[in-house]
Amino acid sequence: MTPFRTRLREAVAAHGPLCVGIDPHPGLLAAWGLDADAAGVERFARGAVEALAGHVALLKPQVALFEVFGGAGMLALERVLADARDAGVLTVADAKRGDIGSTMAGYARAWLADGAPLAADAVTLSPYLGVGALAPALDLAVATGRGVFVLARTSNPEASGVQSAQAWVGGPGGSPRRMREVAQSVVDALADHNAAHRDGPGDGAAGVVVGLTRGTTGRDHGLDLSALGGPVLVPGLGAQGGTPDDVAAVFGGADAPDGPGGVGGPVVPVSAREVLTAGPDHRALRAAVGALNGTLTG
């Protein structure tokens, strides 16, 4: 399979940088005239895929909002991911998985293995059992041409005590040990991974999640992403308070083919409710995507 970063670049070039989160919150289900149950979630999410395939670079189903309905909810998610594959639209499963050993290997196979019922083009991962513990997912992403987005700097205020903590770590490329923020050490480890797979099937497979509404000044994430060589997923646009101007201020703009500052991107801002409140009318959903993409690239 063509590497995920290449496919994402092509999708961004064709449809703009926006990623739409498929977040079937009860309020949105009600606004669409749907019940807050597995059937309503399935109609909502599959309707979003039908409306937005061919009009958006990336779709991001929020796994927790399917999982809450048990097996029926997860079956709905399988169908949503299958619809997206059939329609040729890229997906990132927002599962935030992270564990050790055979458990991590199981998560990797669930979300990244060829033929797996829940296989997506990429999955979000949590690195706080150690980036090295994510090796099964990183390795399988390389083998299958898929991607991962690893949490680096998130928007929630509770994260700062962990992500901003200082630790002695080795620098990128085996450079001497030094004090680094934990969030920066995550970026550095993934930069090393990407460098080791440059120009191969796993080129740029490891991306990061950096919240748009979190940073030392509110408009500065405080990370050095210049060596990452992979994409950046940027939640927080719209209902969470982030604006297209913030994307430009924090990342130097979202429309550069390889991301600003040599990130190796692309940089992909995420919005969910700002787009989905336009539904269920398909034309209105597409218009909302078009308007937001226009402000991101204009």
Residue 62 belongs to domain with CATH number: 3.20.20.70
Residue with tokens 């995920």: 4
Calpha distance 209→124 (Å, rounded): 8
Give the pLDDT confidence of 266-298 residue by residue, as tens digits. Answer: 999 999 999 999 999 999 999 999 999 999 987
Domain count, the chain: 1
Strands (E) in the chain, as ranges, are 19-22, 58-61, 90-97, 122-125, 147-153, 166-170, 177-181, 206-210, 232-234, 267-271
Residues 6+ apart with CB under 8 A from 139: 108
Alpha helix ranges (H) inside 197-266: 244-251
Catalytic residue among 25, 46, 96, 286: 96
Write down the mean pLDDT value for the chain. Answer: 90
Which residue range forms the structural domain that includes residue 72?
4-297
**Are 295 and 58 within 8 A, CB to CB?**
no
Residues contacting 283, CB < 8 A, separation 6+: none
Give pLDDT, residue 170. 67
Are 183 and 41 in contact, with CB atoms under 8 Å apart? no
The predicted model scores a pTM of 0.93
Q: Is the pLDDT of residue 108 over 80?
A: yes
Peptide bond connecting 117 to the previous residue in cis, omega within 30 degrees of 0? no
Would residue 60 show up in a list of annotated catalytic residues for this protein?
no
Cβ neighbours of 64 (radius 10 Å): 12
Query: pLDDT digit string (tens) for 37-48?
Result: 999 999 999 999
How far apart are alpha carbons 49 and 20 in whole angstroms?
10
Question: How far is Cα 214 from Cα 180, in angstroms, rounded to an integer?
Answer: 18
Whether residue 171 is predicted with pLDDT greater than 80 in this model: the reply is no
